[in-house]
Structure 1
């Protein structure tokens, strides 16, 4: 299981940012999800695997986040509102589908699990 506590700049997530086409857009997507959540956020789990159809190839992502703090419920609601229509900036990829699969209160915050499908942008 992968987890990171995010209270500082997220530069280390973006090691591939300068490349024209990163193989896995997960680090950039995580950085944008963390920024969207604001405040104290912990990535409990982040996994990515290849995905393909007859016409497209990309990656399927599963991400579990905990939003912490006294305002966690309000931040979770703001995070979730409009996430399906949100614009994401992923070098060489685009988000074809994203949604919150599950959420619940957690000790000191709110836990949620998201899934996303990114497609290579030719």
Structure 2
């Protein structure tokens, strides 16, 4: 007898799939579009967040820019991020901020930028 979890509990599996895609994927995609083609994605993390009236999640996204030509793009990304209008169905980006930026000089300069986002469920 074949024991397929999807066959036994299709709604659970579909819900897990939706959660796996979740708003973080759209957020990440839009952040990388804003950062531009010279940005390298390093990492994403997410942790639940709630208050008395809202629930959602805090997301941290780290990107890096390497090479002299990409430093202008890094500056443009850092300047544009806090006021950027994100479009994520079912979510409101309540806050977007640069929380750290590291710069290493040398023949191939590198700037690493960590941004944090607060996504609230739009009920």
> Into which bin does the TM-score normalised by the smaller protein fall?
0.7 to 0.9
Q: Could you tell me whether the CA contact under 8 Å between 1:94 and 1:120 is conserved in 2?
A: yes
Q: Could you tell me whether the CA contact under 8 Å between 1:48 and 1:62 is conserved in 2?
A: yes
Q: Which has the higher helix share?
A: 2
Question: 60, 69, 76: which is aligned to 1:71?
Answer: 69
Q: Structure 2: which 5+ residue stretches go unaligned?
A: 1-17
Q: Does 1:46 align with 2:47?
A: no
Under a length normalisation based on structure 2, what TM-score does the superposition of the two structures give? Answer: 0.74
Superposed, 1:51-62 pairs within 5 Å as 51-62=49-60
Question: What are the superposed Cα offsets for residues 55-92 of structure 1, whole Å, 9 maximum, x if unpaired?
Answer: 00011111111123432211111001132221001111
Aligned-residue CA RMSD in angstroms?
2.0
Deviation at 1:49, TM superposition (A): 1.4
Q: 1:109 to 1:39 in 2, by over 3 A?
A: farther
Q: In 1, Cα distance between the equivalents of 2:61 and 2:90?
A: 20
Q: Could you tell me whether the CA contact under 8 Å between 2:38 and 2:73 is conserved in 1?
A: no
Question: What are the superposed Cα offsets for residues 18-56 of structure 1, whole Å, 9 maximum, x if unpaired?
Answer: x7x987311111111111111232221100111110000
Under a length normalisation based on structure 1, what TM-score does the superposition of the two structures give? Answer: 0.74
Q: In 2, Cα distance between the equivalents of 1:38 and 1:57?
A: 30
Count of aligned positions: 103
Q: In 2, Cα distance between the equivalents of 1:94 and 1:22?
A: 19
Which structure has the bigger radius of gyration? 2
Q: 1:56 to 1:22 in 2, by over 3 A?
A: farther
